[in-house]
Amino acid sequence: MSTDSTDPTRTPGIAGDADTGAPHSQAPEGPDASGTHSAPQVSPSSPRGEDGSDPRRRLVSVRSEVGKAVVGQEAAVTGLVIALLAGGHVLLEGVPGVAKTLLVRSLATALDLETKRIQFTPDLMPGDVTGSLIYDSRSAQFSFRAGPVFTNLLLADEINRTPPKTQSALLEAMEERQVSIDGEPRALPDPFMVIATQNPVEYEGTYPLPEAQLDRFLLKLVLPLPERAQEIEVLSRHTSGFDPRDLLSAGLRAVAGVQELAQARAQVSTVGVTPEVLAYAVDLVRATRSMPSVALGVSPRGATALLAASRAWAWLAGRSFVTPDDIKALALPALRHRIKLHAEAEMEGITPQSVIEAVLRTVPVPR
């Protein structure tokens, strides 16, 4: 049973905040929304797949399906669906016990995808992630034993509890959708997404993720402790017999699959972006590099990620074009893990979130 509640501190524009002028009916809940707003409205004229199905309606329904096992996590599910549509990966940050693992398992069930889990520990080796060649004495030959990375949704649990050498084993898989074993590349399944969970860095026994690996994540979602009403609902479901190890008993079923996801991705690729909106995304990213408190600003890869996530967000909302409000809505989850602050700024209480909020206030919005 999930106890997750997404980050309550939201950038302007997420889930139709008042100062953006974006009505709730035109945008799905942001990955950092409180989960109290209405779901995205699906246009009756939504493009349909070759088999007559409506991939958008099915992808939107994933949120309510996951809600059968997960309490108050609609916005986080939206963030994960956005990443799947954009072909990216997600970093989930939260303290132990907020059911990040259940969230991923429920998403895999709702999308009928294979999922595997790796528990990252200090003694985990790179071969434990990617797989290795095993010598067969009977045949006198080496055979490949696939690692858990060969799946659709890979849950990299507590990724910051293992040293950087093992963390880096995921780099090629995340970027190239393949792994190399003894010099031979081996393709990963499609779709493939890494959902890595980490504890806040102030917890003992954690290793900060290298900047190169952080940059591979499309979104970073921060999951704090639940609100009181949500925690009561969690306990109520458990006393009623809910078993988080048996999602079928909670009524979860697959509402979409690989075919619908492929159709959805094809439709997302047709979402239009005007030159003005492109320039706005670039200006936001460039502004992070000139902030006095920032040692390392957002790279061009970050701008690409922001745009990709915004196109998926717009498609979920039933639109064929990206607006500046879409860019605003995804700025925090798409950019916050790509900003490195000066030590002095951190001591003063400045955070990547406050940097992004300042940039959103100062960069002119195209009209």
Q: Is 290 a residue whose pLDDT tops 70?
A: yes
Cis ω for the linkage preceding 210 (within 30 of 0): no
Q: Residue 7 domain-assigned? A: no
- Domain hosting residue 344, numbered range: 18-362
Q: Residue 11 domain-assigned? A: no
Q: Residue 329 domain-assigned? A: yes
Q: Do 132 and 147 contact (CB within 8 A), yes or no?
A: yes
CA distance to 8, 90, 129, 210, per residue, from 162 (Å):
29, 18, 12, 12
CATH of the domain at 352: 3.40.50.300
Task: Please state the pTM of the whole predicted model.
Answer: 0.83
Q: Residue 4 domain-assigned? A: no
Q: Residue 119 domain-assigned? A: yes
Residue 33: predicted pLDDT: 45
Cis ω for the linkage preceding 191 (within 30 of 0): yes
Computed over its alpha carbons, how large is the radius of gyration of the chain?
A: 20
Q: Residue 1 domain-assigned? A: no
For residue 302, the SS3 value is: helix
For residue 295, the SS3 value is: strand
Q: Residue 10 domain-assigned? A: no
Q: State pLDDT tens for residues 194-234.
A: 999 987 766 666 777 888 889 999 999 988 788 899 889 88
Least confident of 51-55, 161-165, 262-266, 356-360: 51-55
How many CA atoms lie less than 13 Å away from 238 in the CB half-sphere?
Answer: 12
Residue recorded with tokens 């007559």: 52
Q: Is 175 a residue whose pLDDT tops 60?
A: yes
Q: State pLDDT tens for residues 241-251.
A: 888 777 877 78
Q: Residue 104 domain-assigned? A: yes
User: What's the number of domains the chain is made of?
Assistant: 1
- Mean pLDDT on 241-262: 86
